[in-house]
């Protein structure tokens, strides 16, 4: 089937950028991205590109090129499904927070709702593509729903997991390491391969069976997160022994068998996917009775929780075991630089820990709104919320602080006038660098007590 009409259900961090790039690279295909969330769709349609709901470097230019030409954002899900030959499901698959598998398994209710809606609306044969990250063998469930509740039309199911990272989404989509397509039906696979072939070299388009494709996505995230937890585990040992984790990362990363990427020690990994996907993997392993496999992967998440908690514990201990009433400034709230996404950001955990100790928290992040920060702290009570202040100006955020914690590796933090910041802080002035971002020599010379993850002052 030669595809000229695509629908994507879910206009989030994956659906929006992915479809924008498909539309940009395939002007002959009409791409309609739909979502139930009206304000999100309104933001995607906003004439002012600064208001797009997802902040990604370069995304505004891609949307500007394709929107209104062959890229459309709409809340009319039924119409878009009906008109499309190929439907991508790109809805959220969060960790289940109720019932069996609570806190571990993926909640597939949004996926199932999509499948039922596609079955109800479709009058012609369609290819359904799993873009969301799903437990292995989910395609079977989708196929079952489509075949038993539909109008007798034929559905082919493909798995096409997305590997983009936030902050570099456009670059990753333009130039992916690989595109993975899992499926059974050769024609359906070819239809999707042909779309990517408009800009991705043939040797980078990998086709597999559905189950390999589904499991490869969970495995890729598990391996990436495992590297971060591995280096974070070593960072604690560095702090005790006088080794420096940046030096250790460099030394081991030069071994091509290990490689240099994903070896940056940090305050802990965040983001909507690493933790949820590993827990999902753990749950699947347990459900097959593979307890050693489950325990092995669960340790990656346990280590990450430890890293976040020990970072805030270290702040309390260093500030003479009490931070009650002290002002602590958090620089960065997003889970990594170049995104406005805060899901599972380590900053949330650290702020909660510090507020539990009655510290006053000032937050500055170049891309995250005050509204979002307050939403992230929804579990706090009214009195605790009064301890949080969000600043639009980093210098104000640092004014009269006892300590600064760098939680996101935004480039702009390195461009600040640190002497000025130091002059306006209480002394001794502490910096806890959770990203190894700032220049230790410069900070120490100014007079800061500078404490970075994975390096000791031994
Ligand atoms: P998201 O929460 O940003 O977006 C999902 C969107 O789907 C929401 O806007 C929601 O309103 C919409 N939605 C849910 N049910 C719907 C329905 N029945 N009809 C219409 N719209 C519906 O999520 P995301 O970050 O884009 O992630 C989507 C999937 O992609 C997840 O499975 C995730 O694991 C995977 N993934 C995410 C990333 C990432 O960087 N965020 C990368 C690779 C894969
Ligand atoms: C990750 C994967 O990199 C993507 O391939 C995948 O598609 C995506 O998850 C997904 O499935 O959602 P993302 O979470 O957007 O992408 O960003 P990463 O660059 O992987 O960073 C994740 C977290 O790990 C961030 O908090 C980051 O700061 C942290 N990290 C990363 C480190 O602490 N150290 C590192 O060396 C690398």
In this structure, which ligand is nearest to the CA of 220? 2
**pLDDT band with cut points at 50, 70 and 90 for residue 91:** very high
Claim to verify: residue 214 and residue 204 sit in the same structural domain = no
Is 164 near ligand 2, meaning CB less than 6 Å away? yes
Is 171 near ligand 2, meaning CB less than 6 Å away? no
435 is in an annotated binding site: yes
pLDDT of 458 over the 80 cut: no
Ligand 1: residue whose CA is nearest its atom 2: 92
CB-CB contact of 142 with 171 (8 Å): no
Starting at the edge strand that comes first in sequence, how are the strands of the sheet with 5-9 ordered?
A: 71-74, 30-34, 5-9, 86-89, 126-130, 155-159, 179-182, 205-208
Calculate mean pLDDT across residues 33-42: 98
Calculate mean pLDDT across residues 352-374: 97
Is 303 near ligand 2, meaning CB less than 6 Å away? no
Is 80 near ligand 1, meaning CB less than 6 Å away? no
Q: Active-site residue 114, yes or no? A: no
Q: Of 179, 208, 237, at which residue does a domain stop?
A: 208
Give the Cα separation of 413 and 363 in Å (integer): 13
Domains in the chain: how many in total?
Answer: 2
Q: Of 177, 208, 239, at which residue does a domain stop?
A: 208
Claim to verify: residue 126 and residue 215 sit in the same structural domain = no
pLDDT of 164 over the 80 cut: yes
| pLDDT tens sequence across 179-228 | 999 999 999 999 999 999 999 999 999 999 999 999 999 999 999 999 99
Ligand 2: residue whose CA is nearest its atom 5: 163
CA of 109 to the centre of ligand 1 (A): 12
Label residue 389 exposed, middle or buried (CB < 10 Å: 0-12, 13-18, 19+).
middle
pLDDT, residue 22, reads 98
265 is in an annotated binding site: yes
Q: In ligand 2, which atom is closest to the CA atom of 274? A: 9
pLDDT, residue 456, reads 84
Claim to verify: residue 61 and residue 157 sit in the same structural domain = yes
Q: How many residues does the chain have?
A: 458
CA of 97 to the centre of ligand 2 (A): 23
Give the Cα separation of 156 and 79 in Å (integer): 20
Claim to verify: residue 256 and residue 187 sit in the same structural domain = no
| pLDDT tens sequence across 259-282 | 999 999 999 999 999 999 999 999
Q: In ligand 1, which atom is closest to the CA atom of 166? A: 40
pLDDT of 168 over the 90 cut: yes
Claim to verify: residue 202 and residue 223 sit in the same structural domain = no
Q: In ligand 1, which atom is closest to the CA atom of 134? A: 32
CB-CB contact of 11 with 44 (8 Å): yes
With both helix axes pointing from N to C terminus, report the angle between 210-241 and 274-287 in degrees, rounded to the nearest 10. Answer: 120
Claim to verify: residue 84 and residue 196 sit in the same structural domain = yes
**pLDDT band with cut points at 50, 70 and 90 for residue 94:** very high
Range of the domain at 145: 5-208
Pairing of β 327-331 and β 360-364: parallel
Show the beta-strand stretches assigned E in 70-193: 71-74, 86-89, 126-130, 155-159, 179-182
Nearest one of 336, 216, 219 to 272, comparing CA atoms: 336
Q: Domain containing 417 — which CATH number? A: 3.40.50.720
Give the Cα separation of 140 and 142 in Å (integer): 5
pLDDT, residue 307, reads 98
Calculate mean pLDDT across residues 15-30: 98
Give the Cα separation of 146 and 3 in Å (integer): 20
CB-CB contact of 148 with 178 (8 Å): no
Give the Cα separation of 35 and 100 in Å (integer): 28
| pLDDT tens sequence across 95-150 | 999 999 999 999 999 999 999 999 999 999 999 999 999 998 899 999 999 998 88
Ligand 2: residue whose CA is nearest its atom 14: 271
Q: What is the three-class DSSP state of 30? A: strand
168 is in an annotated binding site: no
With both helix axes pointing from N to C terminus, report the angle between 291-318 and 274-287 in degrees, rounded to the nearest 10. Answer: 150
CA of 227 to the centre of ligand 1 (A): 25
- Identified catalytic residue from 26, 114, 273, 398: 273
CA of 35 to the centre of ligand 1 (A): 10
Ligand 2: residue whose CA is nearest its atom 2: 165
CA of 454 to the centre of ligand 2 (A): 19
Q: What percent of the chain has pLDDT over 70?
A: 100
Q: What is the three-class DSSP state of 421? A: helix
CB-CB contact of 335 with 375 (8 Å): no
pLDDT of 457 over the 80 cut: no
Ligand 1: residue whose CA is nearest its atom 14: 91
Claim to verify: residue 154 and residue 215 sit in the same structural domain = no
- Give the residue, 354 or 1, on which the prediction is more confident: 354
Is 401 near ligand 2, meaning CB less than 6 Å away? no
**pLDDT band with cut points at 50, 70 and 90 for residue 12:** very high
Claim to verify: residue 139 and residue 242 sit in the same structural domain = no
Q: In ligand 1, which atom is closest to the CA atom of 276? A: 34
Is 262 near ligand 1, meaning CB less than 6 Å away? no
Ligand 1: residue whose CA is nearest its atom 3: 12
Claim to verify: residue 195 and residue 244 sit in the same structural domain = no
Q: Is the pTM of this model over 0.85?
A: yes
Calculate mean pLDDT across residues 316-329: 97
pLDDT, residue 166, reads 96
With both helix axes pointing from N to C terminus, report the angle between 291-318 and 210-241 in degrees, rounded to the nearest 10. Answer: 40
Euclidean distance between the first and final Cα of the chain, in Å?
Answer: 66
| pLDDT tens sequence across 386-426 | 999 999 999 999 999 999 999 999 999 999 999 999 999 99
pLDDT, residue 1, reads 80
Claim to verify: residue 255 and residue 276 sit in the same structural domain = yes
Claim to verify: residue 120 and residue 50 sit in the same structural domain = yes
Claim to verify: residue 263 and residue 410 sit in the same structural domain = yes
pLDDT, residue 455, reads 93
Q: Of 175, 208, 241, at which residue does a domain stop?
A: 208
Give the Cα separation of 453 and 18 in Å (integer): 35
pLDDT, residue 151, reads 85
């Amino acid at each position: 089937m030669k595809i000229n009409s695509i629908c994507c259900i879910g206009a989030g961090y994956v659906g929006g950028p992915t479809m924008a790039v498909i539309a940009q690279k395939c002007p002959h295909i009409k791409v309609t991205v739909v979502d139930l969330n009206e304000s999100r769709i309104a933001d995607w349609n906003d004439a002012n590109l600064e208001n797009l709901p997802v902040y990604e470097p370069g995304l505004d230019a891609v949307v500007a090129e394709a929107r209104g030409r062959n890229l459309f954002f709409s809340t009319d899900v039924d119409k878009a499904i009906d008109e499309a030959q190929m439907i991508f499901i790109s809805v959220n698959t969060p960790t289940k927070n109720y019932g069996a598998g609570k806190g571990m398994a993926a909640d597939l209710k949004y996926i199932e709702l999509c499948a039922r809606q596609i079955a109800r609306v479709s009058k012609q044969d369609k290819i359904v593509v799993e873009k969301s990250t799903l437990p292995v063998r989910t395609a079977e469930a989708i196929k079952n729903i489509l075949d038993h509740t539909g109008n007798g039309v034929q559905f082919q199911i493909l798995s096409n997991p997305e590997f983009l990272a936030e902050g570099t989404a456009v670059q990753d989509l333009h130039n992916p390491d690989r595109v993975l397509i899992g499926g059974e039906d050769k024609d359906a696979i070819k239809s999707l391969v042909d779309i990517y072939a408009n800009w991705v070299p043939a040797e980078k388009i990998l086709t597999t069976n559905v189950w390999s494709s589904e499991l490869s996505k969970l495995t890729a995230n598990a391996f990436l997160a495992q590297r971060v937890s591995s280096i974070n585990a070593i960072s604690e040992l560095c702090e005790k022994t006088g080794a420096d984790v940046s030096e250790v990362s460099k030394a081991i990363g030069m071994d091509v068998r290990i490689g240099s990427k994903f070896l940056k020690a940090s305050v802990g990994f965040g983001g909507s996917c690493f933790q949820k996907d590993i827990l999902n993997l753990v749950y699947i392993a347990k459900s097959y009775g593979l307890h050693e496999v489950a325990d092995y992967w669960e340790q990656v998440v346990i280590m990450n929780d430890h890293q976040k908690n020990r970072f805030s514990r270290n702040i309390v201990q260093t500030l003479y075991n009490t931070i009650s009433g002290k002002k602590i400034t958090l620089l960065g709230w997003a889970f990594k630089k170049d995104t406005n996404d805060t899901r599972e950001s380590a900053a949330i955990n650290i702020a909660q820990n510090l507020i539990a100790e009655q510290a006053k928290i000032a937050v500055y992040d170049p891309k995250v709104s005050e509204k979002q920060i307050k939403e992230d702290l929804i579990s706090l009570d009214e009195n605790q919320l009064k301890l949080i202040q969000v600043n639009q100006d980093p210098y104000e955020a640092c004014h009269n602080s006892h300590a600064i914690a760098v939680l996101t590796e935004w480039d702009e933090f390195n461009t600040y006038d640190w002497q000025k910041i130091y002059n306006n802080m209480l002394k001794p002035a502490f910096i806890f660098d959770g990203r190894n971002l700032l220049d230790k020599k410069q900070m120490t010379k100014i007079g800061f007590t500078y404490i970075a993850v994975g390096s000791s002052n031994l």
